[in-house]
Structure 1
Amino acid sequence: MGRGEPRTFGVEEEYLLLDSATGLPSDRAAELIRAVPQLADRAEREFFSSQLETATPVCRDAEEAEAALVGFRSVVSRAASGLGVVLAGSGVPPVGGDEAGTVTPKPRYRAIDAEIRGAAAKQYVTGTHVHVGIPSPDAGVEALARLARWAPTLMAMTANSPLWCGEPTGFASWRHIMNMSWPVAGYPAGFEDGDEYTAAVSQLIESGVLIDPGIVTWVARLSQNFPTLELRIADAQLEAADAVGFAVLVRALVERALLEAEGGEVRPRYGAGLVNGAIWMAARNGVDSDLIDPLTGAARPAFELIERMVRSVEPELRRFGDLARVERLVDRLRVDGDPARRQLGRFREAGVPGLMALYREGAEAGAPAGV
């Protein structure tokens, strides 16, 4: 990245494939990929055969990322409809989670299933992963430490998995609770530098805790395959525009963190367990209650912290041309609530059929007519 150019980013989206009549997970990923051969190089099967994944190209502007995700969603959603399936942007399926999933027949997934055992049997979890380009692992470790303050707020904004086995869980993000059953979970501890981070991951693998670096399931990590910081905290989103608005906010936060590190600002310090405790509370409450600021330990109204976070990166958002997009996202959260609230509202109004309609609307949102 040249000086003055926008920092690169990318978005990985995971989706659930749900039977359009029952809402149950449907093992149609391989069949669906075959049905859209023009997108075969952009579609990947996930851990279960009822899950699908895509990723944007490396992007410099939000419009490019949104076009990629909207285009993928709209084409695949139409193909899914022809198979009697709904492409769902939800962190977990609202029904059917009590049945063990069908593991995708790839050697690595089978190895994970054998290693994680019963903890993997019902991992119908799908998320929105944001990659932001970083100049080095040392810089990435600095960004991880500084991003931790805002992790609970980012969780609350994107919570989108309130239902499990046909019942409200009392959590806005049940996906986060499910993810805590992996051997490595939550927000990573602070590291001195990139070498210490690499050594810690290597030790987890050598000790047998993890089978490979790809199963480092912290909610934020340094990518093993790309020169990026990867934030994995967000649930799958109902609409592509919301995923992209979130992604460019994360990019701005990483940019600010790297500028602070370059300027010699001391890293923030957090109380033991406070970051993960605050994330857990955010997964429970979403934006409908107080959130905890891990820097101060104080509980504050959710939108007070959201506004403080956005103001802290307003120069970066302006420089990248993303301020209006992020403000629209925040305004929508004020009016409609987090996506978990939207799911609960539709479920109470119309049950599982209402949710299937909500997921279809999300998959088709933003696509030009006739596309």
Structure 2
Amino acid sequence: MLDEQGNPRGFGIEEEYLLLDAKTGMPANGAEQVIRDVDSAAQPTEHEFLASQLETATPVCTTAEEAESSLRGFRDTVAQTAERQGMVLASSGLPPLGGDTEGTVTPKSRYQLIREEMRGVAAHQYAIGTHVHVAVPSRDAGVEVIDRISRWMPVLLALTANSPLWCGNDTGFASWRYIQGLMWPISGYPPSFADGAQYEDAVARLIDTGVLIDAGHLTWTARLSANYPTVEVRIADAQLEVGESVAFAVIVRALVNRALREIAESIPRPQLGPGIVDGAIWIAARNGLRSDLTDPVVADTVPAFTLVDRMIATVEEELQFSEEWDRVQQYLDGLRERGGPADRQLLAHENGGIDALLKLYRSGSHASR
């Protein structure tokens, strides 16, 4: 629960966003203009792969309040800047319209190389997510953590699935972003590695053979960060509301803390059959919180919130210690009452089409509204 220096374990959140035309809801190539007009010293704002995408990252945080303050400040500032330019800052895993139009790649050499190498896979890569970094003491510990949290990946996706619409249609999936991500050369959940050296060797081989451009091109839904001493959980879609992003992040931190405690207590890693984690995640991408989920460890299928409760029970001690139990319970109560973000998008679309969706996106981007 505390890190190796006796401090609360650090974490950070990277959030990606879409810029949509305020009238049509189509992706708008306004990232350069928005970034130019925002005080990046106060609100770090970065380009992403397409000109209709941008991202930010919190500083290293030890409390949920720090992360929430950072993200709320960003969303409010950048959303207002975008509105003045005729755009909406949207936190949806995919744009509801316009995905069939080839995206304009940001003029950065690495992005241009990805476009060239990935061809049609990259042409419509509008997907955006919420990535959570949690500090780990070593690469060896990191690969063990990735193994130990694998059981809960279906739950984490079901909680955060937020991309049910594509090209104006209901895909039948709560997270179509996840399904699209399976087109990348290295995707899904990573295999088990004996230690950090074996992990690094595997990534190096993928780069040397041309499968990957670089370590940052690795699209596993959990990985060791190439730049920080962290485990990076990348499974979540972008979240409609800041509070949901932060609650998700502290759940991830609690799971990492629990995994590190198991390592210290010499509890064996879970033994999972081939394909079971990826299969269970696929079901979560389809069902979200609306139906059943599969527990990869005990290989049973149960109502979604039964598996949610099963996961949260394993980290109650960690959440109580960090004084985040109440925050997480409020988050889960909200999901039970209102449905997941994918459900809310579908409801808005059914009731009011693109205008209602844009209103929903705005409501999550303005702290003062």
Query: Does the CA contact (< 8 Å) of 1:219 and 1:233 recur in 2?
Result: yes
Q: Aligned residue for 1:312?
A: 314
Quote the Cα distance in structure 1 between the aligned partners of 2:5 and 2:283: 39
What aligned pairs does 1:91-102 form with structure 2 within 5 A after superposition? 91-102=93-104
Compute the displacement of 1:37 (Å).
2.5
Letter in 2 for 1:187: Y
Letter in 2 for 1:241: G
Query: Does the CA contact (< 8 Å) of 1:15 and 1:126 recur in 2?
Result: yes
Q: 2:109 aligns with which of 107, 115, 133?
A: 107
Letter in 2 for 1:142: E
Q: Aligned residue for 1:49?
A: 51
How many positions carry a matched residue from both structures? 367
- Look up the SS of the partner of 1:102 in the other structure: coil
Length-normalised TM-score, structure 1: 0.97
Letter in 2 for 1:34: R
Q: Aligned residue for 1:269?
A: 271
Q: Aligned residue for 1:164?
A: 166
Q: Aligned residue for 1:321?
A: 323
> Would you say 1:16 and 2:13 are equivalent positions?
no
Quote the Cα distance in structure 1 between the aligned partners of 2:280 and 2:41: 39
Q: Aligned residue for 2:345?
A: 343
Report Cα offsets for 1:330-364 as digits up to 9, x if no partner: 10110011100000000001000000000000101
> Would you say 1:31 and 2:48 are equivalent positions?
no
Query: Does the CA contact (< 8 Å) of 2:9 and 2:135 recur in 1?
Result: yes
Quote the Cα distance in structure 2 between the aligned partners of 1:368 and 1:132: 29
Quote the Cα distance in structure 2 between the aligned partners of 1:67 and 1:345: 29
Letter in 2 for 1:7: R
Letter in 2 for 1:338: G
Report Cα offsets for 1:246-276 as digits up to 9, x if no partner: 0000000000001101110000011110100
Length-normalised TM-score, structure 2: 0.98
Q: 1:235 aligns with which of 226, 234, 237?
A: 237
Q: Higher mean Cα deviation, 34-43 or 102-111?
A: 34-43
Q: Aligned residue for 1:289?
A: 291
Query: Does the CA contact (< 8 Å) of 1:91 and 1:127 recur in 2?
Result: yes
What aligned pairs does 1:166-205 form with structure 2 within 5 A after superposition? 166-205=168-207
- Cα gap change, 1:40 to 1:65, in 2 (>3 Å): closer
Query: Does the CA contact (< 8 Å) of 2:143 and 2:193 recur in 1?
Result: yes
Letter in 1 for 2:76: S
- Look up the SS of the partner of 1:5 in the other structure: coil
Compute the displacement of 1:59 (Å).
0.3
- Cα gap change, 1:284 to 1:198, in 2 (>3 Å): same
- Look up the SS of the partner of 1:125 in the other structure: coil
Quote the Cα distance in structure 1 between the aligned partners of 2:8 and 2:184: 35
Query: Does the CA contact (< 8 Å) of 1:34 and 1:40 recur in 2?
Result: no
Report Cα offsets for 1:57-80 as digits up to 9, x if no partner: 000000000000000000100111
Q: Aligned residue for 1:252?
A: 254
Quote the Cα distance in structure 2 between the aligned partners of 1:80 and 1:118: 29
Query: Does the CA contact (< 8 Å) of 2:43 and 2:74 recur in 1?
Result: no
Quote the Cα distance in structure 2 between the aligned partners of 1:80 and 1:41: 14
Query: Does the CA contact (< 8 Å) of 1:15 and 1:236 recur in 2?
Result: yes
Letter in 2 for 1:194: G
What do you get for the CA RMSD once the two structures are aligned?
A: 1.0
Query: Does the CA contact (< 8 Å) of 1:59 and 1:65 recur in 2?
Result: yes
- Look up the SS of the partner of 1:149 in the other structure: helix
Query: Does the CA contact (< 8 Å) of 1:39 and 1:72 recur in 2?
Result: no
> Would you say 1:72 and 2:85 are equivalent positions?
no
Letter in 1 for 2:61: C
